[in-house]
Amino acid sequence: MFKTQVSALQLEIGFGGGEHLLHRATVAPQIGFIGVEPFVNGMAKMMTALGKTPLANLKVYDDDATRLLDWLPSASLDGIDLLYPDPWPKKKHWKRRFVGPANLARFARVLKAGGRFRFASDIDSYVNWTLLACRHRGDFEWQARDAADWHRPYAGWPGTRYEAKAIREGRRPAYLTFIRQ
Ligand SMILES: C[S@@+](CC[C@H](N)C(=O)[O-])C[C@H]1O[C@@H](n2cnc3c(N)ncnc32)[C@H](O)[C@@H]1O
């Protein structure tokens, strides 16, 4: 699948401008990354970056991530990153959020036991929604070491474009990590 041998497989859903995905694929050449982004401007930006600096450990897909999730074999991924997904802040639109029973079931199928699901958001209602949805399933264990943990960026975190905007506008990001049981 990749032009190089990889020891693990990570998926990033909705990579936007691709800043985070490019950073991670660059610093971890031994890991295979798949990035999904249906928005044409984001994908064009990514293709321009890869044209200048090709990465043998990165593949991209330009459609709805649910299609890729349904295509992937069971227990094939070591990690899924969902970083600042479209927030749908109005209550009447919450059902459109990417996190929901159907997509969590997809995540549970494709993640290996011990695999990691990371969710970052600046929208408190979406953070609570995700915590509740994962707790409801029972097979995603939230990794929080202390009360401040969920406001601490992930190790080696380069940030994302959407996050920078959220911080500029005064919203505080949360960084959740769940382990597939
Ligand atoms: C708010 S933006 C965040 C982008 C980037 N992660 C960041 O933090 O800058 C959400 C992104 O998710 C993408 N997206 C929305 N629905 C998606 C889906 N079903 N599959 C894959 N990506 C999706 C959008 O096109 C958009 O680029």
pLDDT, averaged across the chain = 97
Distance 180 CA to ligand 1 centre (A): 23
The amino acid occupying position 167 is I
Query: Residue 122 has what pLDDT?
Result: 97
Query: Residue 148 has what pLDDT?
Result: 85
Q: What is the mean pLDDT of residues 5-34?
A: 98
Q: Which of 35-44, 84-93, 97-106, 138-147 is predicted least confidently? A: 138-147
Residue 53 has pLDDT above 80, yes or no: yes
Is 18 close to ligand 1, i.e. is its CB under 6 Å away? no
Cα–Cα distance for residue pair 40/30, rounded to 1 Å: 28
CA angle, residues 117, 64, 161, in degrees to nearest 5: 65
Is 16 close to ligand 1, i.e. is its CB under 6 Å away? yes
Task: Give the Cβ contact number of residue 156 at 10 Å.
Answer: 9
Q: Which residue has the tokens 């897909």?
A: 61
In the chain, the percentage of residues whose pLDDT exceeds 70 is: 100
Cα–Cα distance for residue pair 122/165, rounded to 1 Å: 10
Asked if 86 is an active-site residue, the reply is yes
Residue 24 has pLDDT above 80, yes or no: yes
Is 84 close to ligand 1, i.e. is its CB under 6 Å away? yes
**Angstrom distances, CA of residue 21 to CA of 35, 148, 170:** 7, 25, 25
Query: Residue 147 has what pLDDT?
Result: 75
Which residues share a beta bridge with 32? Answer: 9
Of the listed 64, 86, 124, 139, which one is catalytic?
86
Atom of ligand 1 nearest to the CA of 162: 9
Atom of ligand 1 nearest to the CA of 15: 6
Query: Residue 57 has what pLDDT?
Result: 98
Query: Residue 21 has what pLDDT?
Result: 98
In the chain, the percentage of residues whose pLDDT exceeds 90 is: 96
Query: Residue 108 has what pLDDT?
Result: 98
Query: Residue 37 has what pLDDT?
Result: 98
pTM above threshold 0.85:
yes
- State in words which class domain 8-180 has: alpha beta
Query: Residue 1 has what pLDDT?
Result: 85
Q: What is the mean pLDDT of residues 54-74?
A: 98
CA-closest residue to ligand 1 atom 23? 14
Q: Among residues 58, 55, 57, which one has the least CA distance to residue 15?
A: 58
